[in-house]
Amino acid sequence: MAEENKIGTYKFVAEPFHVDFTGKLTMGVLGNHLLNCAGFHATDRGFGMAELNENHYTWVLSRLAIELDDLPLQYESFSIQTWVENVYRLFTDRNFAILNKDGKTIGYARSIWAMISTETRKPADLLALHGGRIKDYLCDKECPIDKPGRIKVEEDKPIGEHTARYSDIDVNGHVNSIKYIEHLLDLFPMEQFRDKRIRRFEMAYVAESYYGDKLTFYREQLGENEFDIEVKKNDTEVVVRSKVIFI
List residues near a second copy by CB under 8 A: 15-17, 19-23, 26, 28, 32, 35-36, 39, 49-50, 74-75, 165-167, 169-173, 176-178, 182, 185-186, 188-190, 193, 211-212
With respect to a second copy, which residue has the nearer C-beta, 19 or 153? 19
CA angle 61, 123, 114 (to 5 degrees): 25
Query: What are the phi and psi torsion angles at 168 (to 5°)?
Result: -85, -15
With respect to a second copy, which residue has the nearer C-beta, 172 or 221? 172
With respect to a second copy, which residue has the nearer C-beta, 174 or 200? 174
State in angstroms the smallest separation of the CB of 138 from a second copy: 25
Distance (Å, whole) CA 34 – CA 55: 24
State in angstroms the smallest separation of the CB of 4 from a second copy: 25
State in angstroms the smallest separation of the CB of 51 from a second copy: 12
Amino acid identity, residue 38? A
Distance (Å, whole) CA 20 – CA 25: 6
With respect to a second copy, which residue has the nearer C-beta, 112 or 184? 184
With respect to a second copy, which residue has the nearer C-beta, 35 or 139? 35
State in angstroms the smallest separation of the CB of 61 from a second copy: 11
State in angstroms the smallest separation of the CB of 150 from a second copy: 27
Beta bridge pairs of residue 82: 8, 96
Beta bridge pairs of residue 87: 92
State in angstroms the smallest separation of the CB of 23 from a second copy: 5
With respect to a second copy, which residue has the nearer C-beta, 147 or 165? 165
222: nearest Cα among 200, 201, 202, 243:
243
